[in-house]
Amino acid sequence: MTTFALIGAGPGLGLAASRRFGVAGHRVALISRGAQHQDNLVAELARENIHARGFTADVLDPVSLTAALRQAADTLGPVEILQFSPVPRGDFMKPVLDTTATDLDDPLAFSVKGPVTCVHAVLPGMRELGRGTLLFVNGGSAVRPHPERAGTSIAFAAESAYAAMLHDALAPENIHVAQLIVPGAIRPDAEHSSPRTLSERLYAIHTERGGFRHYAEPMPA
């Protein structure tokens, strides 16, 4: 049995994606900073007979992130699917003219060093399996920079570039890398961007193994 590892476990998209991949037969590793939060999600998934476990790590701390992913693989089974979708902090979103070089340290660590750390932690296991999926979920500023959200616009663009290069480099190894752009807010009542709809989309991206970039809904003009 293989593992679906979620970076950024929460009650919205994170829970919905964990449920979808769990129902498909994968064990679920919930990775976030808060253990109590994880316990609530584990209990909710257990009511649906989904085997899940929480692992505490901070995306800004590569050592804890690597340790959590390795522990998840040792405890639950090799990571076949990694979803990187932590929610950026509000202070990453300063206007461009107010953003200093120092202001970019954490956004870049969050959206670039975090993904690189995760990929290096799970890639050996995927290669041993002979298959794998790396899913990156980003807001619209990843493809259309927003001057009021400079930190995430810059960092998401860098994350996109990294993921696109991975898509090409890992395809010959049967490891699929894809990005899902969610232009608007994730809301339960959203037609295209509800947690449940997005989780189905992510599962389809994993199974259909098409191109690199996908959109939850069309980008507004």
CATH of the domain at 170: 3.40.50.720
**Predicted confidence band at 34 (pLDDT cuts at 50, 70, 90)?**
confident
The proportion of the chain whose per-residue pLDDT surpasses 70, expressed as a percent, equals 100
Percentage of the residues of the chain whose pLDDT score is greater than 90: 87
Strands (E), 19-124: 27-32, 52-56, 79-84
| Domain that residue 176 falls in | 3-106+126-215
Distance of CA 210 to the CA centre of its chain: 18
Q: Parallel, antiparallel, or unpaired for β 132-139 and 79-84?
A: parallel
- Report the pLDDT averaged over residues 95-115: 97
pLDDT digits (tens, 9 = 90+) for 35-59: 778 999 999 999 999 999 999 999 9
Asked whether residue 111 is assigned to any structural domain, the reply reads no
Q: How far is 167 from 125, CA to CA, in rounded Å? A: 17
What is the tens place of the pLDDT at every residue in 119-135? 999 999 999 999 999 99
- CA dist 153 and 169 (Å) reads 24
Count: domains in the chain:
1
109 — phi, psi (to 5°)?
-65, -40
Angle at 112 between CA 107 and CA 116, to 5 degrees: 145
Q: Is residue 36 part of a domain?
A: yes
Residue 31 lies in a domain: yes
Q: Is residue 117 part of a domain?
A: no
How high is the mean pLDDT of the chain? 95
| Summary count for the chain: helices (H), strands (E) | 7, 7
* Residue-level pLDDT at 221: 64
- Say if residue 66's pLDDT is above 80: yes
Phi-psi region of 112 (alpha: psi -120 to 50; beta: other; left: phi over 0): alpha
Does the residue 220 lie in any domain?
no
